[in-house]
Chain A
């Protein structure tokens, strides 16, 4: 721009502004319009954010409640469990049949359906597929139920749940509705008798994955995420900080350090899926580590977040004024002592902020984990770093792919949980920055 001044402008090319009348008004109008475009851009971004979060909240908030219905079940007698008499063992309670009492209870509730096979099938479909197991758990928790009739609350099936939450519209013709008129009638009867109730959906947070939407929970994925992020943190934080310390405090200015710097900047821009390919080729196929394990997922994510942490740590170290280093050196500290005793503690809040942001990125990352097999259908809760596991974003991806409509609600709820974690982490980072940031 400065060289424009050195060449004299062509006199004919100079346009003299007209500073009066309609011309000026037009220019001001253009100014206002331009300003509006800018505002529109930001408004569009804000609107999209609102739409995104709004649509997910609208789809997902109802998943935090689960509809229960009350029925009176005749629990099996002690003698049927343990023919020899005496208290039944836990094994006997586990193996006993609870489906028949459950079905009998349903038939008792609606005797008009008991005669017809098709109607019976519909009747059994009112409760969730895992309802008999729920009865078993009740007996395990309270053995005095055996041989008694008791009113219990059990989960309804996902279709009835959708009906109770108002997701199924009653004015749709019966053929297009997932609940037919008979079932609707049963539901209304129960509802009028006060036998339908919405409760907080604890199972969403205590169950692993399941093919049945009513039984599916995010606990397994959450544990997988925690294990994976633990590995990521343990690997990437020390290595990232040490690399940053070396590059910022000790590295001589030479070819090698230049190469390292360029490398780190480029690594930060490599698509995440390429890290997944690296994990597949190196960790799984070359080192023979187990597939689907949080260990491998954590390592891949660690390599991915390393550049973020290094860059953040370097700028935090750079912000510590040289006078601190000089004072410490002047008092006889060795270069390493200067760093470990003075520079690093002062830079720690900044480094931690960068680390938390890197961890938040890692928590939301999906693509590389698909490559190393963390995408399997896993029911068990992972217990260790080498157990097959999945993570929260992958669980969301899996549920979003499920054909059952009831999973949409669960997916949105899982997204809300994930977003909740991200908000907490980012808020923590902001808090750290606000609380400990020092301006020198």
Chain B
């Protein structure tokens, strides 16, 4: 909250700087040489000088302060408290201190050492906040004053402002790269820590998934097995069912929309498909768990089949419905990109519309359709909420769609929701699964986009 107020104050200072700079420029130019830039650029020049350095100071402070304060608090603990403590214990202790200091629920409330340290931390934090406010406001004021002093008719304010803006533009477009790098690095780093505990081969080819690690070393069934094969098999099963629904329905809808439908029908049908795409996945999950799954179970029992209440079939079918619009809109684009001359040629040879579609248009559009289906598969693999709510938790190697299976995304969610110790193999395995998911979906996307692009070039 406090930093929000501080940022608002800095913005206010920048506005003041703008007004001051503009006024100053008009004063300086009076009777003397004409200004190099428009007066508003002098205002912007001062505003940037006031806001940017101060914001940088603020950001650096916000990142560095907690670390420094923690180090000081740890150093200030009574002699011997930290002797022989493993690093994760130190982390726990710090957590307790922090929670006590900020009035949250701590696990060891009445430990005098923790209490004292918490008081120390709270006082340091309070001083730090005041110092931060003073430092950033001082930097802002100094920037404002310096910039205002430099205003003169020959100051090239516009060029300076535009250079700064240019740099900011470049930095914003680099955020995308930074995000990708952040994803890759964080996944790789945490996965690497996981692979120091569990060998890569055991993870990739193990047939057994039961991530419960032991609390005590001598516990029964304590080892924990991290074989991802059942999860991948479950994911594939659900994806396969989803594609069984989405591929024919999506494709036929796209063909009908592109080749048969008149504009009035299109105007109604297209939004319907778009609405299907806009419904949040959690709603699909609710639908799958509370409407479709009981329905399938009821029918299965009517035929004497043993259907699990969290069957792969229910989750897969609903996921299929979710990706229908995905398949149809991508295929629609591809089919529309097939040149009219191909259709005309086919009609001229006496083919009916459906014959033209099946033997000319679809083969011509096939690479694009394959690309669309691959993108849909990648979407289905990464889908989380439907399977979390409607598929099961038991990692089972089966191809029976009536049984409960689990998927990669379900396991990531169950491993990371709730309380967690950060260094256990159990928690870290979620990042290894995330890496697996990222690599699979990225690979599918790259292939699909490549196929689509190659195909587009052919007709452009």
Binding site for B on A (CB under 8 A): 1, 17, 19, 27-28, 30-31, 33-35, 37-42, 44-46, 48-49, 51-52, 55-56, 59, 238-240, 242-243, 245-247, 250-251, 259-260, 263-267, 269-275, 277-278, 280-282, 285-288, 303, 306-307, 310, 334-336, 360, 363-367, 370-371, 375, 384-386, 393-394, 396-397, 400-401, 408, 411-412, 415, 418-419, 422, 426
Contact A281 B253 (CB under 8 A): no
Q: Please determine whether A367 and B291 come into contact, CB atoms closer than 8 angstroms.
A: no
Please count the residue pairs between chain A and chain B whose beta carbons lie under 8 angstroms apart in the complex. 256
- Closest residue on chain A to residue B284 by CB atoms: A52
With A260-B173, A287-B63 as given contacts, are A366 and B385 in contact (CB-CB < 8 Å)? yes
B286 touching A415 by the CB < 8 A rule? Answer: yes
Bound CA–CA A59/B291 (angstroms): 10
**A-side contacts of B278, CB under 8 Å:** 360, 364, 422, 426
**Cross-chain contact of B413 among A38, A370, A418, A422 (Cβ < 8 A):** A370
| Residues from 371 to 416 in B contacting A, C-beta threshold 8 Å | 375, 378-379, 381-385, 388-389, 409, 412-413, 416
Given contacts A396-B283, A400-B286, 6 further A-B contacts (CB under 8 A): A1-B342, A42-B269, A260-B174, A273-B384, A367-B281, A400-B289
Q: Which residue of B lies closest to A304 (CB)?
A: B179
Q: Is there contact, CB below 8 Å, between B255 and A38?
A: yes
Partner of A48, one of B259, B321, B384, B389: B321
Smallest CB separation, B268 vs chain A (Å): 9
Contact A273 B445 (CB under 8 A): no
Complex interface: stretch among B18-26, B132-140, B143-151, B180-188: B180-188
- Docked-complex contact A242 and B169, CB < 8 angstroms: yes
Assess whether A277 is in contact with B162, with CB atoms less than 8 Å apart. Answer: no
A271 touches B162 (CB 8 A): no
A418 to B280, CA, bound (A): 9
Separation in Å of the B162 CB from the closest CB of chain A?
5
Q: Are B290 and A400 interface neighbours, CB within 8 A?
A: yes
B290 touches A271 (CB 8 A): no
CB neighbours (8 Å) of B412 from chain A are: 273, 277, 371
Of the stretches B118-126, B195-203, B208-216, B350-358, the one at the interface is: B350-358
Query: Quick one: CB contact mask for B406-440 with A, threshold 8 Å, 1 for yes?
Result: 00010011001100001000000011001001100
**Shortest Cβ distance from residue B233 to the other chain A in the assembled complex, whole angstroms:** 18
Residues of B within 8 A of A17 (CB): 350
Chain B nearest Cβ from A355, distance in angstroms: 15
Partner of A45, one of B186, B260, B273, B290: B273
Contact (Cβ within 8 A) B276 A37:
no
Known: A246-B173, A422-B280, A426-B278. A19 touches B350 (CB 8 A): yes
A52 and B441 in contact, given A38-B252, A277-B186 (Cβ under 8 angstroms): no
Q: Are A263 and B441 in contact (CB under 8 A)?
A: no
Q: Which B residues are in CB contact (< 8 Å) with A56?
A: 283, 286-287
Contacts of A364 in B (CB 8 A): 278-283
Per-residue contact bits, chain B 273-308, to A (CB 8 Å; 1 contact, 0 not)? 101101111111111011100000000000000000
Let me know if A277 and B431 touch, CB within 8 A.
yes
Residues in B with CB closer than 8 Å to A251 are 173
Q: How far is the CA of A394 from the CA of B286 in the complex (A)?
A: 12
In the complex, what's the smallest C-beta–C-beta distance from A277 to chain B, in angstroms?
4
Q: How far is the CB of B107 from chain A (nearest CB, A)?
A: 16
Cβ contact within 8 Å between A371 and B416: yes
Is there a chain A Cβ closer than 8 Å to B234's Cβ?
Answer: no
Taking the closest CB of chain B, its distance from the CB of A324, in whole angstroms, is 19
Q: List 25 A-B contacts (CB under 8 A).
A: A28-B352, A34-B354, A34-B357, A35-B353, A45-B253, A45-B272, A45-B276, A49-B275, A51-B291, A243-B169, A246-B169, A263-B176, A263-B180, A272-B382, A273-B382, A274-B434, A274-B437, A277-B183, A277-B412, A278-B183, A281-B431, A310-B176, A334-B162, A364-B278, A367-B281
Which residues on the A side are within 8 Å of B350 (C-beta)? 17, 19
- Say whether A393 contacts B280, CB under 8 Å: yes
